[in-house]
């Protein structure tokens, strides 16, 4: 009897798990809220298929799952350094460029990077920059600059905003900002320069309210925090929420003149994709300016698609992080993966920073 019960339970589960699907399916493994719902609907009607999305919240999650052998995904949207790791792991299928003519819409500045020379496997999807976010009323009141990393590192500025500043709880992001502030590349690996960066961070730490990577959006919106080192998409989100809640201030994006970190997410096809044909169709579809613009209009993401500009809401076009102006574009850097020895050194410095008073 028990055996029959167990069998019945599984039969029911299979029946639930496999409803009769007459339509084709494209499996998209994506970040949450990283494609506009109307874009999905339009693609579904164009390709006569269903888009089935699964989400990850971290590149490492994606890498771990694929490294263990998970399959069934057609298109993935990893960040550049993760693309490089996937290429090295032999996880990706080369792109058939003849099937994606819309690649010509992408700004050449974002193509042919060291992460995927010649874009054999990947095309840029959307991006974000790590910059300053600030409360316009408070910063004006205090007369602080918002175009330099000095404002989060120099005690002479920090004195005025003590306890009202947060920085990202990420060794790589914070070191990159400090290295940029000192005039080095964000990818500089000279240990002496790292020591100098660590010293800058340690000196500024007593003035910061917290290392914060998640709730700073909320804190900015409510007005508890006036200045952050954060992601451009989050800062955009904070301002939208602040306006929706009718606050008497704006949350603006401040681009440091020393340059900043750029994170580009790219569309790639998994080597075992069940439907590489649909995957290519999807990639070409997303490279269309209108479809690409819908994501930017939704979350304020940076857009590498030149054709998207005419579809983007005017208010968003003014944001430096959406279409970085040429002067800024030249100073944006994508972070490269560290070697194991370098990572160990950075972790050591980071632990010392976290433990210091």
Partner 1 sequence: MRRRSPWLWAAAIVAYAFLYVPLLIVVVYSFNDSRLNAEWVGFTLDWYRTLAHDEQMLRAAGNSLVIGIVASGVSTVLGTMAGLAMHRYRLRLLPILIFAPIAIPEILTGVSLLIFFVLLNFTLGLVSVALAHIAFCIGFVAIVVRARLAGMDETLTEAARDCGASPANAFRYVTLPLIMPGVIAGALMAFTLSIDDFVITFFTAGAGTVTLPLAIYSMIKIAVTPEVNAVSTLLMLLTLLLIIAAARLSPSLFRSQGDH
Contact present, 291 and 39 (Cβ < 8 Å): yes
Q: How far is the CB of 120 from partner 1 (least distance, A)?
A: 24
Q: Which of 240, 269, 300 is nearest to 93 (CA)?
A: 269
* Tokens 């084709």 -> residue: 24
Contact present, 228 and 133 (Cβ < 8 Å): yes
* Contact residues: partner 1, CB under 8 A: 2, 5-6, 9-10, 12-14, 16-18, 25, 27, 29, 31-33, 52-58, 61, 64-65, 68-73, 214, 217-219, 221-222, 237, 241, 244-245, 299
| Cβ-based nearer residue to partner 1, 34 or 181 | 34
CA 132 vs CA 69, 104, 215, 231: distances in Å: 39, 32, 15, 8
Helical segments of 182-299, H only: 191-204, 216-222, 232-244, 276-286, 289-299
| Cβ-based nearer residue to partner 1, 1 or 340 | 1
What the block records as the tokens of 328 is 């800024």
| Cβ-based nearer residue to partner 1, 9 or 46 | 9
Q: How far is the CB of 55 from partner 1 (least distance, A)?
A: 3
Helix (H) or strand (E) holding 123: strand 122-135
Q: How far is the CB of 29 from partner 1 (least distance, A)?
A: 7
What the block records as the tokens of 6 is 């167990």
What the block records as the tokens of 207 is 């003035």
| Cβ-based nearer residue to partner 1, 7 or 46 | 7
| Cβ-based nearer residue to partner 1, 280 or 328 | 280
Q: How far is the CB of 101 from partner 1 (least distance, A)?
A: 27
Q: How far is the CB of 254 from partner 1 (least distance, A)?
A: 21
């Amino acid at each position: 009897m028990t055996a029959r019960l167990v069998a019945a339970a599984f039969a029911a589960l299979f029946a639930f798990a496999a409803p009769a699907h007459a339509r084709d399916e494209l499996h998209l493994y994506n970040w949450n809220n990283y494609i506009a719902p109307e874009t999905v609907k339009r693609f579904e009607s164009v390709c006569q298929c269903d888009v089935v999305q699964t989400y990850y919240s971290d590149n490492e999650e994606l890498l771990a799952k694929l490294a263990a052998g998970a399959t069934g995904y057609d298109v993935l949207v990893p960040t550049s350094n993760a693309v490089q790791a996937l290429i090295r792991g032999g996880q990706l299928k080369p792109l058939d460029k003849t099937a994606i003519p819309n690649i010509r819409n992408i700004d050449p500045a974002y193509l042919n990077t060291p992460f995927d020379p010649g874009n054999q496997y990947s095309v840029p999807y959307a991006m974000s920059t790590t910059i300053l976010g600030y409360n316009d009323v408070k910063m004006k009141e205090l007369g602080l600059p918002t175009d330099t990393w000095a404002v989060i590192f120099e005690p002479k500025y920090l004195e005025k905003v003590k306890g009202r500043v947060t920085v990202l709880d990420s060794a790589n992001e914070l070191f990159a900002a400090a290295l940029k502030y000192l005039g080095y590349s964000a990818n500089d690996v000279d240990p002496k320069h790292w020591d100098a960066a660590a010293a800058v961070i340690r000196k500024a730490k007593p003035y910061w309210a917290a290392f914060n990577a998640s709730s700073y959006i909320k804190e900015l919106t409510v007005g508890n925090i006036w200045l952050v080192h954060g992601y451009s998409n989050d800062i955009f989100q904070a301002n939208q929420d602040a306006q929706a809640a009718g606050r008497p201030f704006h949350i603006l994006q401040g681009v440091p003149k020393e340059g900043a970190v750029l994170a580009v997410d790219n569309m790639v096809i998994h080597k075992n994709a069940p439907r590489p044909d649909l995957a290519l169709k999807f990639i070409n579809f997303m490279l269309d300016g209108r479809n690409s613009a819908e994501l930017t209009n939704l979350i304020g993401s940076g857009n590498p698609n030149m054709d998207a500009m005419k579809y983007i809401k005017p208010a968003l076009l003014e944001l430096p992080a959406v279409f970085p102006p040429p002067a800024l574009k030249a100073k944006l850097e994508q972070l490269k993966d560290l070697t194991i020895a370098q990572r160990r050194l950075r972790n050591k410095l980071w632990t010392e920073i976290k433990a210091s008073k």
